[in-house]
Structure 1
Amino acid sequence: MGSENQESIWRGLPNSPACMERHLEGLQYRADGAMVLGAAALTGRYWMGSIWVYKEASRAPEEAHCTAGVQTEAGLSDVAWLGEKSVVVASDTGALELWKLAENDSYLTNCASHYEHDDLVCSVSVGVDTLVSGSLDGSIKVWDKNEFKVISTYRGHVAGVGCVSCAPKDQHLFLSCAQDGRVLLWDTRKAKPASVIDVKPAGALPSYVTWNPFSSRAIAVATETGHIGLRDLSSLVIPLAHTVVHNRPVTRLKFSPHSAVWLASAGEDCRVIVSNAVDKLSLIYESKCHLDHVRGLDWHPSKPGSLTSAGWDHQVVHHIVPEAATSDRAVGISGDATLMETGTV
């Protein structure tokens, strides 16, 4: 009976790949709670990739329960929603790929693959009217969201760009960090658009940057030594204070859209941590469920306290941060994490 049920499920997904690659590289929620998940095969002769859409995020990473899935021609580093029906993929080929959901969201079709970068695309961020991509070739590309074409190219870094982040409410502003040690603020309205925020924060290379959705001037910067720092962009002369949160490189940072207190981070130390963004990054929640690098992290758009992570161990973990942790003084509160593959922790 179980075999017949499985076969009936697969008959309904004729266009999806038969198997998902082991290394999960990124995830993002859509406004309605649907989730896109990116995967890559980082071992073997060919480095392939795939993207998967789940209307029920709790089903990930089970291939049989995806809404739509498709194989990509190469590995990938990042995925992001572009509206309700389209997904942008940062490809290892140097391309930015645009995939669109069709046939009642059951099929992903490739609309465009633009090879604008000369090396692996590390990061993509969707802004108000534009999207921004950063690559190991050291360049940053600003794209028109509607036409999916490059409108500006910037080379303010002299080494690979590891992360870009668009301002949540201003189409002209975005952040970047790179292997040259610099964290830059970009304003595309200016003749000289780049301003240096920091150089080798905490004496280390920056690994991730992100904006606080509750403030147009508040950002967070993470490093390869596990430090995280907060900064108010209205006072660039004030040094950025850092706190050691992880003991290995930080791979993802994400402010909660529901609480100004919660700042989630993930790292190569296999941990997912929620820190208090208004109380010196004191510990609110910590999970050690992952067994390898954590590469995907996002808050559920309509469930406060619900955080999802994905990693190279092929696990998608759903974390519940206690509501009591919304208090500015909530420190060291442990929460629940659910492993969708192995049961409840």
Structure 2
Amino acid sequence: MEMNHQPRPPIAFRSPGRHGYAVEFSPYLPQRLAVATAQHYGIAGTGTLFLIDITPAGAVLLATFDWREGLFDLTWSESNERLIMTGSGDGSIHLWDTNCPTDPIKTFKEHSREVYSVNWNQTREQDFVLSASWDKTIKLWDTNRDHSLQTFVGHRHNVYCAVWSPLVPGCFASSSGDGSLCVWDVRRSEKPRFLIPVSKADVISCDWCKYDQNILVAGSVDCKIRGWDLRNPTKILFQLGGHTHAVRRIKCSPHSKTVLASSSYDFTVRTWDFARQSTPLETIEHHSEFVCGLDFNMHVPGQLADCAWDERTVVSTPKSLAALNT
């Protein structure tokens, strides 16, 4: 079926009493997304996973999934369109079946502190999930087993993010409160292959270029976005400035090699082309609180979803991204 990629007005979904931490489009259905949220800004209370369809008439809530602690991240399965993994404030991760909106079909509890990141392997060589925690560790999971396969230790502070390379099987990157990025190979060692000093501030987010296996980007509390070519990791490839508070999440475009988007505690989402300029292509201001979650729709060029502590998830096609895809 041919997709209509014309820009549409922004569509917002409200999650009353639940503050947005992560949003991700389904890799299977272009209109579907999930949002991980927490009560009381994640400081206390419960968490809810929302399953939503975006239609021409607006956002349609399909199901909700509740957990006893806040949910800080989510990742869709790359092998089963019904499965979603979430990470929680109590150190657990959960496997949900979207056809069964009750309890998780599996819960894994090995981390001793908050799980701030979960990520499903995209290469499909093996069906693995990463979890990154404030207990300074990263764990590797096979959802068919009851215990983690490996624990990766190398950071000296909270691990905020761990994300698989979309192009190199078994390779992933992680970012931490110790101001560093680490690059790992699960087939070789439980220690990092190398470490990149990024900043004196916490490095909250990282992501891989979808078209060049050597390009890795990171966002930090110092408001900067930086990129590296791993063939020469001692030299910064680019640095982008514009945010006025911590860069909470970075996502590289699945449609353009040099385009990325970022969300921040300055209440904005910004788009960038690191090959053209070091300032934002566009600053998007449709939130009134910290913007924590961000994702590109791989099926619809130029479409973004973001979620914030203002209890709103917004799906939009920023002008800067629409222009790049015309």
Shift of 1:57: 6.5
Q: What's 1:36 paired with?
A: 34
Within the candidate set 263, 267, 275, 2:264 is matched to 267
Give me the whole-angstrom Cα distance separating, in 2, the residues matched to 1:44 and 1:311.
12
Instruction: Say whether 1:248 aligns with 2:245.
Output: yes
Partner deviation per Cα, 1:184-232 (whole Å, 9 max, x = no partner): 001122246413342243x432121100111111111111011001111
What letter corresponds to residue 79 of structure 1 in structure 2?
Answer: L
Q: Secondary structure at the match of 1:42?
A: helix
Q: What's 2:75 paired with?
A: 80
Within the candidate set 132, 140, 151, 1:142 is matched to 140
- The within-5 A match list for 1:18-29 is 20-29=16-25
Give me the whole-angstrom Cα distance separating, in 1, the residues matched to 2:116 and 2:97.
21
Shift of 1:45: 9.3
- The within-5 A match list for 1:105-184 is 107-127=101-121, 128=123, 129=126, 130-147=128-145, 149-184=147-182
Shift of 1:21: 3.0
The answer to whether the 8 A contact 2:118-2:132 is kept is yes
Q: What's 1:285 paired with?
A: 282
Question: CA, structure 1 residues 45+257, in 2 after alignment: closer, same or farther (shift >3 Å)?
Answer: closer
TM-score (ref. length: structure 2): 0.86
Question: CA, structure 1 residues 218+289, in 2 after alignment: closer, same or farther (shift >3 Å)?
Answer: same
Gaps of 5+ in 2: 1-14
The answer to whether the 8 A contact 2:137-2:155 is kept is yes
Give me the whole-angstrom Cα distance separating, in 2, the residues matched to 1:174 and 1:303.
26
Q: Secondary structure at the match of 2:65?
A: strand
Shift of 1:180: 1.5
Shift of 1:280: 3.8
TM-score (ref. length: structure 1): 0.81
Shift of 1:68: 1.3
Give me the whole-angstrom Cα distance separating, in 2, the residues matched to 1:264 and 1:180.
24
Partner deviation per Cα, 1:260-314 (whole Å, 9 max, x = no partner): 2320000000010000122243321211111000011111222111111110011
Q: What's 2:197 paired with?
A: 199
Question: CA, structure 1 residues 45+186, in 2 after alignment: closer, same or farther (shift >3 Å)?
Answer: closer
Q: What's 2:65 paired with?
A: 70
Q: What's 2:218 paired with?
A: 221
Partner deviation per Cα, 1:60-87 (whole Å, 9 max, x = no partner): 8x7xx31111211111110111131111
Question: CA, structure 1 residues 45+79, in 2 after alignment: closer, same or farther (shift >3 Å)?
Answer: closer
Shift of 1:240: 5.0
Q: What's 1:333 paired with?
A: none
Question: CA, structure 1 residues 292+149, in 2 after alignment: closer, same or farther (shift >3 Å)?
Answer: same
Cα RMSD of the aligned pairs, angstroms, is: 2.4
What letter corresponds to residue 91 of structure 1 in structure 2?
Answer: S
Question: CA, structure 1 residues 50+301, in 2 after alignment: closer, same or farther (shift >3 Å)?
Answer: same
Give me the whole-angstrom Cα distance separating, in 1, the residues matched to 2:195 and 2:237.
9
The answer to whether the 8 A contact 1:222-1:228 is kept is yes
Larger radius of gyration between Structure 1 and Structure 2:
1
> Identity over aligned residues, as a percent?
24
The answer to whether the 8 A contact 1:102-1:109 is kept is no
Gaps of 5+ in 1: 1-18, 328-345
Q: What's 1:54 paired with?
A: 52
Aligned residues between the structures = 303
Q: Secondary structure at the match of 1:79?
A: strand
Higher relative contact order structure (alpha carbons within 8 Å, sequence separation ≥ 6): 2
The answer to whether the 8 A contact 1:295-1:309 is kept is yes
